[in-house]
Structure 1
C-alpha cells in the first residue's frame, strides 16, 4: 500500500466514525421544559420584636439568677507553670479572669488538684472537675 492510499483509508475511516458519532448525537429528541410558575408573596406587617429594644434577643441569663447549687466551678481557661506547682487561669462569675494556685478559691470553689488538662475544684462536700476546652473552642 502506498503512502497516499494509506492516508486515504485513514481519512475515510475518520470521516465514517465522525459521521456515526454526529449522527447518534445530533438526532436526540429535545425535551421542552415548561417555565416554573410564578408565585407572588406579600410582606406581612410585623410588630416590635421586643418591648425593650435595647435588650439583646438571645441573652444568657445572668449567673446570679441561677441558684447557687446549680452553679458549677469556674470555667478553666489555662494551666501555667509546672505540674509540681501549677497555677490555674479561670473565669470567675463576674467575668474576670483570675490566676490561682492550689488551696485558693474563686466564687466559693477551692482549687484542690491540677492535671495536665483539668483541675478539680471543691465546694464543701461537692467536688467537680473542670477540663480545658479544645484549642479551637476557647471561651
Structure 2
C-alpha cells in the first residue's frame, strides 16, 4: 500500500506535467532567444623571428662561463642512467684510468655533487667545477 503523502506528491507531479506544456505554449508566452554576441574577427598573431634559434648549433657544448677548468679536474666522458635516480658519471682520472661515480663519490679529491643532461658538477674544498661532456668529434668515415 502506498502512503498518502506519496500519492499526493505523484498527483501534484502529474498535474504539473500536464499543465506546464500548455502554459509554455500559449500565444503570449513566447521566449525570444538572445542574439549571440558578436566576436571580434580572428587575426593571426605575428610570431617573433626564429633566426636566433637556427643560428646556434643543436648539439654544441655550452659556452664557457668565463672560468677555465682546473687542470686536475676529472674529465667527463659520459653520463649513464636516469637523472635524479640512478645516474652515474663516467670520468677519466688524472692518471688516465676510467671510473664510474655516483653522486657523492670522489675521485682525485673531487666530489661529484650533481649531474645534468650535459655536465657534472664537482667540488673540492671551496672550489666548484662544472665539467661539460666533450663535444662529439666528426666521424672521419663520413667525410
TM-score (norm 2): 0.45
Give the number of the structure with larger relative contact order, counting CA–CA contacts within 8 Å between residues 6 or more apart: 2
TM-score (norm 1): 0.47
